[in-house]
Each structure stands twice: as C-alpha cells, then as structure tokens.
Amino acid sequence: MHDWKEIVRRRLTPLPLEPGRRDEVIEELSHQLEDAYKEALSAGVSEPEALGRSLAQFNDWENLRKDVFRAVKAEELPVWHQRGILSPKRPWVWATLLLALALLSLAGFRQALTAVSVSFKADPWQESFFSTRALAQMERQAIAQADARALAFVALHHPDINEAARDAEKAIALDAHLTWISARFARVLQGEHNPAPWIARLKTWDPDNAVPYLLEAGTFFDKSPLVARWPSLGIPELRRALVAESDFRLPMRKAYAAPKYDNYAAQRFELDRAVFEQQGWDRPDLLMFAEASQPYPNLFATRIYAQYLVEDVGETAEKAGRNEEAAAQYRTVAQFGVRMERASTDIERLIGIAIRKISYKRLLPLLRLQGRTEEAALLECDVADLNEGLELTGGYRLTERAASRAAPLVLISGVVVVVFAAATLAWLGAVTLLRWKENGSSLLNYFASVASVAVPLLLLASLGLYGAYYPYVRHINQFENAGQLVRDVGPLWGTLAGLHWGLLHRGSWLPMMLWPTVWCIVVAVIGIIILRWVANRRESGGLPE
C-alpha cells in the first residue's frame, strides 16, 4: 500500500503555510491521488500504470506548490522557497552570477565596458580625459620619489597649462633627456602662455630637428593677422605674404634644411605607455586619446611653405632658365617630405607624401626636359610608391567600416549589460533581504521572483559585449607605436566617441528626449511590476484542457 501523504509531502515540501493548513492541503491532495489510483485499479489497469496515472494528475509539482501557496495566502511563494530554474536556491544561478563576475577579470571585458563609458563622455579627445585629482596624486608621488618620467607625464597631460609647465620644468631639471616635453608648450595656447622660451630650449637641445623650427614658424603663423584673411587672400597670396615675414621664412628655411624630422611622438608614446604600465592602466583607449591630444607643428603652414618653394621660387628659377637652381628647390622639398613621412603619426605621414607630390609634379617634367631619363624613371617609381602609400588609407577605411558596424553593437550590448547589472544588483539586494526576513515584503518577494531572470541575461549580455569587442582586445604592450595604436583601435574608439556626438550633439531630438525616454521606461517597468503584482493578488482561476 502506498503512503500517499508521504508522496505528496515529499513533492510539495517546502510549503511555507501554517503547519495545520499545510497538513490539510497534503491530506486533501493525497486523497485525490489515492482515489484516482483506486479508480484506475478497479478499471482493470495494472498497479504500476495505475500509480503512474495517479501521479500524472500533478505533473508539475513546483507550479502546484506555487499555485497552492498563492491561492491560500494571496501572494507569491517566498523566493527562497521556490525551486524553479531561476530560484536563488539553485546553485547554477549563483554559478551564472559568478561567471558573469569572472568576466570582469578579463582585461578585454573591462576594456569593452570602458567602451560604453566613452560614448557618454563629453569629449574624450580632450586633455582633461585624465582626472586632475589622479594627476595631482601622481604629481605628489613623483615629486616625493624624484620620478622625472611621472612628472613629465603629468606635464604632458595636466589640463592647466601653468601647472603643467611647472611640472615640465621639474621633470627636465631631473632628467634633461626629457627636454622634448617642451614641445607641448611650444604652441600658442590659451591665456598668457608664451611658447617662445620653450621653443628656444627645444632648438638648443635638438638643433638638427625640423620640428622646433616648424613650431617657431607655426607660432608666427598662429598669431599672424594674415591667416584670418586667407579665405579672401587665397593661398598663393597668403604664402607670399607669409614668406615676406622673416619670423616665418627663416625658421621654415631651417626646418626644411634640418637633417631630421622628429615630433617626439615615439618618445611620448613610450613615456605614456611606461607610466600606464607603472600605474596598472591597461587602457588602450586612454592611451589613444592621450596620444590624440599631442600637438603637431602647424601642418598647414608647413605645406604652404613647400608650395612657396616649388611654385614660387622653383618655378621662377625655371622660367629664368636656372634649371639646376629650380631642381635644387624641388629636391629640398622632396627630401623634407621624405623625412616627414617617417614620422609615426598618419597625419604627418600623409602631409609628407603630399609635400613630396607637390615637389615631384615639377621635378619630373624638369628632369625629362633636361634629358635625365634614368633619374626621371626612378622618380616615377617613387611617385607610384607614393600612390601606394596613399592607398594604405583605403585599408584604414576598411577598418573604419568594420568599426562602424562593431561600435553600435558594443554600445548597445554594453548598455544592456549595465541595465542587467543594475537589475541583478537589485535582485541580489532583494534576495539577501528576503533571506534575512522571509516575509518582509510581498512586493519585494514578487520583484525577486521576476528579477531573477536578470542573472542569466546579465551573463548573456556580457558574453555578447565581449564577443562584439573581442576583435579590438589588445594589451598596451602590443602596439609598436602611436600610429599602430590609432590604426588598430582608433576607428572603434573614434566611432564610439562619435556616436555620442552624433546622437546627442547634432540637433537631433535625443538631447531633449533621451533622459525623459529612459525615465519613462523605468517608470513603465516599475508600473508593470506593480500592476502584475496587484493582478496576481486579485487571483485568477483556470480551465485548462
């Protein structure tokens, strides 16, 4: 004879009703099983089949347990008594949560999360990407430890130019090899900053480099009232007016004659990366934005001077029959272009190519005219190489296209991760409270029952985010130079930063509607949860089959 009460008790436990009521329910359901069993036997069914038929009446005991509790108490079964697949009693729910948290130990996943924050930053390209607090702390430590490199880092990235200049002085005093950081202060900046002493220092320290001279000419260019008039003047007039000024012409002449072109990007990249590693920041994004804020010499002015040498000086010499003098001018420009092309940043490389093309456009016909066919043929090969170099930017566009597809995916999955992380946190808080006080709040219990779905969804969204970002996961040591950093991850981070500007700053409805929409969604979700809870309390019957 079967112990029907025990069969029901085993399957229905725990049923957190008052003991008397619970026993009544168990007894009543055991009668149902027993009656069905006896009826099946009396119909001539075998004993095992009769037992099977009887038990099949309640094929989902977990639901029955919930329904009975809800019917008797008019509220959800306490979440810690639930045994559904998403119950906090299930070890796999906690394993899922741990797995989601374990993803945080992956540097790539942390980078992906950072990607989301970039889209919501006002302007990640600004120097202020580093917090002044962090920089101030680093400065204090660097001064205490006489750490010239850390001081140089602060000098390069501090948003306050005066503070930065003071740190630069200290860094250079500690280590003269760091004099190149003066380049940051060698441009006309806002306020009362005077770049002249910094340029003079650079010229003395690195006299063979074109960059300090370009910075000097650029300072004149930036201040010159001619520049403001150039749209009306036109480029030819502007360059003639500029070269008439010795403060522009002389440094430019020295720059074009200098044996090397070094904008200190490599030194800066190495310094930044070393400090990043020292600080434990494995943040290619931060490194990229830090490099992006590097000041260049005035490339427009540099190109204008190339045009002057080719189209004014060279052409005049050619017209006067002084072909050798013209060729020498063209070669000066071409050689400067070659030196500039060796710079590590793409923009300088492209300007270097452009300057060489300006030169070759005149030099090639001149060489043919002079019958120097072999030299002309070599130059033609050079021109073909230049075009190939320019085509490299086509590859860059491909990377950009891939990034433009990946960036929205990263952003959306990142936002979803943040939403589910918040929901999981709320669920965690609710189940902890309910563990402590089981009958604390029926609304809280209802929320904990519903929100348990956030845990697996958090893991799925996290995997989605990691998957979308995975092609861009890099350690900062994997980049050879700033150019490679910009080429590899620049398109993605640039697109992410652009999404922010595109969505929020181009006069779209989003600036006005984004937060109200988010607010409405939050209110709607809370409203739905409360309404469902109220509806559940009103109870409903069922007529299945």
Interface contacts to another protein, rule CB under 8 A: 24-25, 27-29, 31-32, 35-36, 57-60, 63-64, 67-68, 70-72, 74, 539-545
Residue pair 212/220 in contact by the 8 Å Cβ criterion: no
Nearer to another protein by C-beta: 29 or 496?
Answer: 29
- Give residue for tokens 């219990």: 445
Q: How far is the CB of 442 from another protein (least distance, A)?
A: 15
In the numeric block, which tokens belong to residue 248?
């522009």
Nearer to another protein by C-beta: 58 or 120?
Answer: 58
In the numeric block, which tokens belong to residue 479?
């980049």
- Cα within 13 Å of Cα(50), Cβ side: 17
The CA angle 246-248-252, to the nearest 5 degrees, is: 110
Nearer to another protein by C-beta: 44 or 541?
Answer: 541
**The total number of residues written for the chain in this structure:** 545
Q: Which residues contact 359 (CB under 8 A, 6 or more apart)?
A: 306, 310, 330, 331, 333, 334, 337
Distance CA(129)–CA(121), nearest Å, equals 9
Nearer to another protein by C-beta: 427 or 533?
Answer: 533
Q: How far is the CB of 57 from another protein (least distance, A)?
A: 4
Q: How far is the CB of 438 from another protein (least distance, A)?
A: 21
Nearer to another protein by C-beta: 228 or 543?
Answer: 543
Nearer to another protein by C-beta: 5 or 487?
Answer: 5
Phi, psi (5° rounding) for residue 209? Answer: -95, 135
Q: How far is the CB of 86 from another protein (least distance, A)?
A: 21
Nearer to another protein by C-beta: 42 or 190?
Answer: 42
Q: How far is the CB of 36 from another protein (least distance, A)?
A: 8
What DSSP line would sit under 452-489, residue for residue? TTHHHHHHHHHHHHHHHHGGG---GGG-SSHHHHHHHH
Distance CA(395)–CA(391), nearest Å, equals 7
| Among 289, 347, 291, 346, residue whose Cα is nearest residue 497 | 289
Nearer to another protein by C-beta: 221 or 533?
Answer: 533
Q: Which helix (H) or strand (E) holds 133?
A: helix 132-145
Q: How far is the CB of 21 from another protein (least distance, A)?
A: 9
Q: How far is the CB of 52 from another protein (least distance, A)?
A: 15
Most distant CA pair in the chain, distance: 125
Q: How far is the CB of 60 from another protein (least distance, A)?
A: 7
Q: How far is the CB of 17 from another protein (least distance, A)?
A: 10
Can you say how many angstroms the Cα of residue 87 is from the centroid of all Cα atoms in its chain?
A: 36
Nearer to another protein by C-beta: 6 or 27?
Answer: 27
Distance CA(111)–CA(469), nearest Å, equals 8
Residue pair 76/434 in contact by the 8 Å Cβ criterion: no
Helical segments of 43-90, H only: 47-56, 61-73
